């Protein structure tokens, strides 16, 4: 089953990092965030990827071309101008790095991939967020309801600690509680090919245009995820993810 990763945005709120690389290539624990996302999907046996490129797509191409050719031990035959690996990479990903336009919106990027995705169910996420969602359970939920689309709904923690009141008396503090009913789009979606009927040209937004219409027709279901989820929008987010990784307790690291 194919997995689409949207990796073409500008990432302007991470300008310190994204002046020279797209946001999915900003590193967490010495690896691009995109690498972490690929490892998550591969852990659940989803190995076929279409990465929708835009801003600085060349950085993603170069990284994974080198990753494929330089992983593990290699033999260099100078006389024959040939380089060959000694061993097979432990990562079994099959990656299609697809140029989808520098200015194309999210829905437009998916629409451009229609020739490759229009025959079967496919998964999709953004290249700037990680979580520990059970992807096989997500797919099973999608298949159980028979609708066009499933979105993973998450409740992110508040960015600020909250005060606990007893009347007007402050009785304590809660550190970054989850926002009550504040479910948001966490990415990690599943779609049927019928989604393409709701996508128009390059300016189409997957969220504001297509999914609004899909929801209006009663064809969008939510898979509630109560576990870990974190996007990387700011340097604060990057430092938080780095700290989790360095602690050895990164919740999204579901692979061995």
Using the predicted structure, report yes or no on whether residue 163 has a pLDDT greater than 50: no
Pair of tokens at residue 13: 């709120």
The span from the first CA to the last CA of the chain, in angstroms, equals 22
Element (H, E) at 165: strand 162-166
| pLDDT tens digits along 129-156 | 999 999 999 999 999 999 999 999 998 8
CA distance 48 to 55: 22
Q: Which CATH superfamily is domain 2-151+185-217+229-246 in?
A: Spore Coat Polysaccharide Biosynthesis Protein SpsA; Chain A (3.90.550.10)
Q: What percent of the chain has pLDDT over 70?
A: 89
CA distance 13 to 128: 12
| Choice among 11-20, 152-161, 186-195 with the minimum mean pLDDT | 152-161
CA distance 102 to 7: 11
Gyration radius from the chain CA atoms = 20
Domain extents in the chain: 2-151+185-217+229-246
CA distance 227 to 207: 23
Indicate the pLDDT class of residue 170, thresholds 50, 70 and 90: very low
Which residues have C-beta within 8 Å of that of residue 211, sequence separation ≥ 6?
Answer: 149, 151, 198, 220
């Amino acid at each position: 089953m194919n997995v689409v990763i949207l990796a073409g945005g500008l990432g302007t709120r991470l300008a310190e990092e994204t002046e020279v690389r797209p946001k999915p290539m900003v590193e967490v624990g010495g690896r691009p965030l995109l690498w972490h996302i690929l490892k998550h999907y591969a852990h659940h046996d989803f190995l076929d990827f279409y990465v929708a490129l835009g801003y600085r797509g060349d950085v993603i191409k170069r990284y994974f071309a080198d990753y494929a050719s330089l992983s593990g031990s290699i033999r260099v035959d100078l006389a024959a101008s040939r380089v060959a690996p000694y061993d097979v990479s432990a990562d079994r990903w099959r990656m299609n790095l697809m140029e989808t336009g520098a200015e194309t919106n999210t829905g437009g990027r998916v629409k451009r991939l229609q020739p490759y995705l229009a025959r079967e169910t496919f998964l999709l996420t953004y290249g700037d967020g990680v979580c520990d969602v059970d992807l096989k359970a997500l797919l099973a939920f999608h298949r159980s309801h028979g609708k066009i689309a499933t979105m993973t709904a998450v409740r992110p923690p508040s960015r600020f600690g909250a005060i606990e009141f007893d009347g007007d008396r402050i009785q304590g503090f809660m550190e970054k509680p989850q926002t009550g009913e504040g479910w948001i789009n966490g990415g990690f979606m599943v779609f049927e090919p019928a989604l393409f009927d709701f996508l128009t040209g390059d300016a189409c937004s997957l969220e504001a245009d297509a999914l609004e219409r899909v929801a209006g027709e009663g064809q969008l279901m939510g898979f509630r995820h109560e576990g870990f989820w974190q996007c990387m929008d700011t340097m604060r987010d990057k430092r938080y993810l780095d700290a989790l990784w360095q602690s050895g307790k990164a919740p999204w690291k579901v692979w061995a």
